[in-house]
Structure 1
């Protein structure tokens, strides 16, 4: 759930602001208005009714808590929201929610919210990747020891390490952008056949997609591969952030001291400590993502033409997964944008036996190649 206490700690405050109850209500209302407009475009409902409903919706004041209580009976907030809109629209109320079922509005609103929150997540992923790329360029030839299985291995450069961070975050960002951009509108009616809108069903759905700037698609009520792909892309993005965050935590350890954060955290009992807290909390946020993704994947078995439970399990889980991945990206960005590199400590650790000062191979060339191949 959205938390004023913990969201800032774990970097989710910017994402959470686009996923709160007010945002859900705004998305639901936006879908209902766009739907009646699309229906009017094809003569399903009178244009005057659509205009009246749009005007009423613009001034509608919805208390999310009251809507939630009213949603208990039907199991989703669309049912009481439709009642509110119909009552407020008077004679035009009969044109509210034309040809749709509750899942059409909930799914389409969820897609809108993913887009709104996804803008923040993608921005922070790009910021983190750009920060890693800047570190790679600056330290292309800064030698350090590579470590395998926790032990000193052979020389590398910090530039190559940072270029690897950049590559992972870039790839995850590109995949997430692809998945989010392909999420479509949902409009199928009671049984996914668009029967109530016949013969205009597909045309109304296409108009709805254009109005909301979403992809158009045939109804996908119980075909949830898109949600699974989104869950995977968000979890992978969180994992891509966890990798550099883990390296920063390790490299900032007292015994290594090869990097430090610009604004390290302190300790309530040990004033000498300078904790890499942005990287620490990036790791913490990322750790939640695989479990949340697993819930969405486990809920993919929607039965028949309307799921009894698996669909309902998606709503809050998807919110939380967006916040986990977004928080990991935001905190990693903070860590890397202010990361201080200590070449003298890298040189000292590199000089430890038995490796000594061997050359770092083709590290510099590999930095150039990875940065040239960045996914834009």
Structure 2
């Protein structure tokens, strides 16, 4: 009997070894393509990031080491007082109601640091935390990209989940509803951005201003694309309108894998729709939610065409700032360093989502 058990385990080991070899044989072509298409260009980008190479320039690039990364990642935090108003002996206030703060030290200005934000300190009425950087446009582009990603993906998840729940239910015309739902996502981003640009004109000719004025929600036309405080919310609205159907499509696929017997049994036991959603639908939908978040977060972090069409240089994301650095300023080495940092940030988010997905698998 001991011999039979040993043979059985040996057979299982051989089966596992054959499956492992088959898996590697299937993966090798993909890995080769990955090395040729992704790894090799990434290597060249990293090498260029260590030089002062100029785009389309004939000069021989010089090795500068980590100087490009030092400039991009040089961030300081300093406490600065507010400017004193001689008439009131208090902090000087701008016409828009914000406080005027003193600049950072002259030596820091000489080194290339410029203030990006002044954050008022909660325990001090006349001091703020000055966040400065040697490349404040890059720091602002990171802030813009992260805010855009977090807000837009969160809204797309909530709206997409609602849309998926609706089209997953049984009603007349459900097939037509699913087809119509995907129209915004099927339109190319550049085309949809141009359409929204026409609708968001800062005069009464813009349909958005016209509708809001007719509803008496605004008293005068708003400059949705040129007013700094409205640019980012506008971009988020446009992106949510276009991409929420894609999120709904991914979540709908997950909803259709949930057995209907579970809902029927829970309904017989007296569970209402809300209880069934949080106890059955949402837990079983988590893997699909994680996959949808991976796709949308990685896509939002490298957003380019939407901002480039709507705002040009007025509102920069990491991708549009990288484009401006490479094409307009022709700093190939510096732009390559920006690309490497973008790659690292996207990799961090991807790793976090993969870890979330692996935790879900282990719990199951």
TM-score, with normalisation over the residues of structure 1?
0.25
TM-score, with normalisation over the residues of structure 2?
0.26
RCO greater where, 1 or 2, for CA within 8 Å and sep 6 or more? 1
The higher radius of gyration belongs to 2
